[in-house]
Amino acid sequence: MSAVVAGRPRAAPPAEAYLAALAGLAGMGPRRLGALLEVHGDPAAAWSRVVAGAAAAEPEVAGTLGRDPAARAARWAVQARAVEPEELAARHRAAGVTLLTPWHPAWPARLLDDPEPPAMLCTRGDPAALAGPACALVGTRSCSGEGRRTAHDIGRDLADAGVAVVSGLALGIDGAAHRGALAAGSGAGGPVGVVAGGVDVTYPPSHAALFHQVAAAGALVSEAPLGTPPERWRFPARNRIIAALADVVVVVESHDRGGSMHTVDAAVERGRTVGAVPGPVRSPASAGTNALLADSALVVRDAQDVLVALGLGRAPLSGPAPRVGEPGPPLDGADAAVLDAVGFAPTTTDDVVTAAGVGLGAALTSLHRLAAAGWVDAGPGTWSRRADAPR
């Protein structure tokens, strides 16, 4: 097949150009794209069908298009007419973004037998980062200080051991895991960021710098082409790719519902090992992870536990070393009494004062000293004890 553009014969654009154009349409999820490709066999044919506004003509496709398939097909046609696949592919090349397709040599082996694989992966950075052992570190966006530090440390130690940290670059645990991976030494495993929109669309905006760092040290991937806005439905779809690209999925902190639980469902569907970091039983941010542990998820206390699950490390004979910080100066009596009154779950200042049996001023002063020395974390009107506090 050849196309004539501006009077000069030219080779037809490669299939990935059509895949990218298709994947960038509003509401084009994996199921719909899968149905289109299944019916038409070839991305170019599917694309011409969409441009013609006849995407809903085949019942196999129409069945995936919701309540009003004709309207959806019409909207796609309008959007598609403004897109030139070859020009879109050229934009990717110019931006140094690789369009990975299943027939590309760098296509991750983990996706070959995936029940719902992405049709293509738009990859910024080094596609080789998708090849080695990988662990997904995910969790809630509203995490505790303890959760953030745990995600950071596990991310750093896994990267040091050469494991790619896969995560979603969201606020909270995701970002902390990636920051940890980036803090690892040289020769570390490159982080893999899986984002919902195009890899050039930073969401959340405050993570713009983190996007660049992850792309520079590892790879930033998305099943949507450049410029795609992160529509709501793309986040759960993104979570399945996180699960698919990892050998082990570890939830660091999660409320009893939320995006991390989608990732866990996707991991279970794909037979991936699911791990969870135990948390205080009364902390809402650990309700989901503790429930996973009750469901016999792998107990993850540190990177070593993950490495054992990956077959990369040996379980220490005498159990893991206790994860406590450096010995600190001994606490004086008043500070020790106040520290005793602070729980690992957030405790209100009033409760600390009552339990410690000291005056308000003395309690606040002790709490300030304890926070400065790394014994406790300050929350809104609350305090919680740090697990990695000095001894």
Partner 1 sequence: MLACIPTASLFGVDADPVTIEVQVHAGLPCTTVVGGPDATCREAKERVRAAFASCGFEWPNKRVTINLSPAWQKKRGSAIDLAMAVGILLASDQLPVGSITGYAFLGELGLDGAVRPVVGVVPLAEAAGGDPLVVPAAQVVDARLATSRVVGVGHLGDLVRALKGEAPWPLPLSPTPPPRPPPRPDLADVRGQAVARAALEVAAAGGHHLLLTGPPGGGKTMLAERLPGLLPPLTPGEALEVTKIHSAAGVLPVGAGLLDEPPYEAPHTTASAVALIGGGSSQLRPGAISLAHRGVLFLDELGEQRPVVLECLRQPLEEGVIRIHRAIGSATLPARFLLVAAMNPCPCGEGGDHRCRCQPVERLRYARRLSAPLLDRFDLRLHVPRADPEQLLGEAGGEPTAAVAARVATARRRAAARGTSVNALVPGSRLDELAPLDRAARRLLAGLLARGGLSARGLHRVRRVALTLADLGGVDPPLTEEHVGTALGLRAELATLQAAS
d(CA 139, CA 79): 35
Query: How large is the angle between the packed helices 43-51 and 30-40, nearest 10 degrees?
Result: 110
Q: Which of the residues 230 through 249 are near partner 1 (CB under 8 A)? A: none
d(CA 242, CA 234): 12
- For partner 1, the binding residue among 48, 64, 273, 349 (CB under 8 A) is 349
**Which is closer to partner 1, CB of 199 or CB of 285?**
285
**151 within 8 A of 143, measured Cβ to Cβ:** yes
Q: Which of the residues 248 through 277 are near partner 1 (CB under 8 A)? A: 255-256
Distance in Å, CB of 363 to partner 1, minimum: 8
328 near partner 1 (CB under 8 A) = no
Q: Is 36 exposed, middle or buried (0-12, 13-18, 19+ CB in 10 A)?
A: buried
Token pair listed for 253: 């902190």
Distance in Å, CB of 44 to partner 1, minimum: 38
312 near partner 1 (CB under 8 A) = no
Distance in Å, CB of 162 to partner 1, minimum: 29
Distance in Å, CB of 174 to partner 1, minimum: 10
**Which is closer to partner 1, CB of 174 or CB of 247?**
174
Q: For the chain, what is the radius of gyration of the CA atoms?
A: 25
Q: Is 8 exposed, middle or buried (0-12, 13-18, 19+ CB in 10 A)?
A: exposed
- For partner 1, the binding residue among 83, 183, 336, 364 (CB under 8 A) is 364
348 near partner 1 (CB under 8 A) = yes
Part of the chain binding partner 1 (CB under 8 A), chosen from 4-12, 103-111, 272-280, 361-369:
361-369
**Which is closer to partner 1, CB of 123 or CB of 384?**
384
d(CA 2, CA 70): 30
- For partner 1, the binding residue among 365, 374, 389, 390 (CB under 8 A) is 365
Beta bridge partners of 3: 10
**Which is closer to partner 1, CB of 71 or CB of 360?**
360
321 near partner 1 (CB under 8 A) = no
281 near partner 1 (CB under 8 A) = no
**250 within 8 A of 181, measured Cβ to Cβ:** no
DSSP state of 330: P
Part of the chain binding partner 1 (CB under 8 A), chosen from 88-96, 157-165, 272-280, 356-364:
356-364
3-state class (DSSP) for residue 97: strand
Distance in Å, CB of 287 to partner 1, minimum: 7
- For partner 1, the binding residue among 382, 384, 385, 386 (CB under 8 A) is 382
Q: Which of the residues 132 through 151 are near partner 1 (CB under 8 A)? A: 141-143, 148
- Collect contacts of 335-339 with beta carbons under 8 A, ≥24 apart: 335/366, 335/369, 335/370, 337/366, 338/362, 338/363, 338/366, 338/367, 338/370, 339/366, 339/370, 339/375, 339/376, 339/385
Kindly write down the DSSP assignment for every residue of 175-209, as one continuous string: HHHHHHHHTS-TTPPPPEEE-SS-TTS-SSGGGHH
d(CA 178, CA 194): 11
366 near partner 1 (CB under 8 A) = yes
Sequence-separated (6 or more) residues with CB below 8 Å from residue 340: 355, 356
Distance in Å, CB of 368 to partner 1, minimum: 5
Q: Binding pattern to partner 1, positions 191-210, x when CB under 8 A? A: -------------x-x----
Kindly list the residues in this chain that would bind partner 1 in the complex (CB under 8 A): 141-143, 148, 171-172, 204, 206, 255-256, 284-285, 287, 348-350, 353-354, 360-369, 372, 378-382
